[in-house]
Structure 1
């Protein structure tokens, strides 16, 4: 099968340190002619948005496969409607800053999400560039942070949503074993990023309260406006984000709004350690 020739397309940066929007039609997107360029832009900018594509599930799956290895050939429904999503209660954790996959050693590389139904208010998605946040730290702090390990726990993230779980519910959360990850992830490219988010429980070997203060300070620091892009969804948008170099969260919206996103994911390609 002949390889399509790369074609030029329009790129507009959405925020100084993160996010780019490209202009492209569905036919060009699915041809694969721009896939290498889109992937390079994703790795450089963290987030790539394409407005108003209105992809079908089959089209989204086909495009996903052009930029990496798809995890599963299925588009998952992201909604708070339990009739459409049996794990709706679990995904309420999406309202808090997080990186997907911190309970394992090889997180997914990227996610692709398309908007199928919007809420009347709220429901934006925010992304924080954890590469840029690390880069801007003072050199002395970089050196100190690179020595630290953080214990991540699924139950810590779930307590954001249900701070007083039943014992039975807590035990179900605790089926996920704690995972110890570096606070600073040194990628195979040589770039470095901060590993933070709602699963971060405490800093290994540090006084508990001191560690909480550090993790909270770094989260606040990494989510300052200069590192963040907020996507205001319109119907049919496709947004791709590099899960290995960003955190993300959804902003609040009415649980009965019917907001619906369809998501595909790209398999991880490198481990945290």
Structure 2
């Protein structure tokens, strides 16, 4: 297996291996896990991917999430990202499915709004248009390392609140349903997630983040916006141009990502599995020393 760097200081393409190889062979998995910890974003092209193959690969890295209420794939291990309606054609831009896709065009990290956040996400391309719909990634690890030492120290002991309804409200006031709001109360996590495999810290921010514990509301939001702008500065991102058979895996502890607009009304279908973080992934240090759910 070859590991080919492909981004500005992070990201790598894996060549000479398959999802099935990684799921079944201990040595291959060990090498891929090391590449994941180092590069944060891994790209595998020309994969013969199915739901079963993707799930077996994902299980190798940890426990897959069960898809939340309100998403396509609810109750399964798969998040279905689609613009295809019941009649088989692409939905119009004002359709709820299209608005949810638009929300994914905000810079974010998956599942920061959940009681158990995510270690990694695995996204496979099943049906895609010929143009558009790229995914952009930035390294919040490199962003943290670019900060002044005094700012790093301040953030190490700061906590941010994350809420699914907050990010969806940036697209439409009622995009998060009452069922989703009830199931997903706001969560609070340390602003810096240290990787126990290499000791490197990364900003843990997202479009879901709306407040900083102990700071006045506007000041906390301004800090989150400042950190997001710094992490997503021009020249800092890796842009992935999708092809059928592509699989991309990313570290939600150390990256943010966003989708780019897809041509309308062309259909597309992508499938995501999300791997929950475990204590061994540094989760214990992320919890605040106070109640987790917002009042």
TM-score band, normalised by shorter chain? 0.7 to 0.9
Q: Give how far 1:235 is off.
A: 1.3
The one of 156, 159, 176 equivalent to 1:149 is: 159
Q: Say if 1:81 and 1:255, in contact at 8 Å, map to a contact too.
A: no
State the match for 1:61 in structure 2: 55
Question: RCO higher in 1 or 2 (8 Å CA, sep ≥ 6)?
Answer: 1
Alignment pair present for 1:108 and 2:118: yes
Alignment pair present for 1:97 and 2:107: yes
CA distance in 1, matches of 2:143, 2:261: 25
The one of 230, 233, 245 equivalent to 1:236 is: 245
State the match for 2:41 in structure 1: 47
Matching of residues 4-153 of structure 1 within 5 Å: 9-26=1-18, 28-29=21-22, 31-32=24-25, 33-71=27-65, 74-83=77-86, 88=97, 89-153=99-163
CA distance in 1, matches of 2:180, 2:2: 45
TM-score, with structure 2 as normaliser: 0.79
Q: Which runs of 5+ in 1 are unaligned?
A: 1-8
- CA deviations 1:209-251 (Å, max 9, x no partner) are 3222221111011112454211111111111111121111111
CA distance in 2, matches of 1:67, 1:147: 28
State the match for 2:226 in structure 1: 217
Q: Say if 1:110 and 1:241, in contact at 8 Å, map to a contact too.
A: yes
CA distance in 2, matches of 1:192, 1:203: 18
Q: Give how far 1:69 is off.
A: 3.3
Q: Say if 2:64 and 2:77, in contact at 8 Å, map to a contact too.
A: no
Aligned length: 262
Q: Give how far 1:21 is off.
A: 0.4
CA distance in 1, matches of 2:81, 2:226: 30
Choose 208-217 or 64-73, whichever is displaced more: 64-73
TM-score, with structure 1 as normaliser: 0.84
SS of the equivalent of 1:229 reads strand
SS of the equivalent of 1:196 reads coil
Q: 1:77 to 1:104 in 2, by over 3 A?
A: closer
Q: 1:202 to 1:240 in 2, by over 3 A?
A: same
CA distance in 1, matches of 2:21, 2:157: 46
CA distance in 1, matches of 2:262, 2:35: 30
CA distance in 1, matches of 2:35, 2:103: 28
Q: Which runs of 5+ in 2 are unaligned?
A: 67-75, 288-295
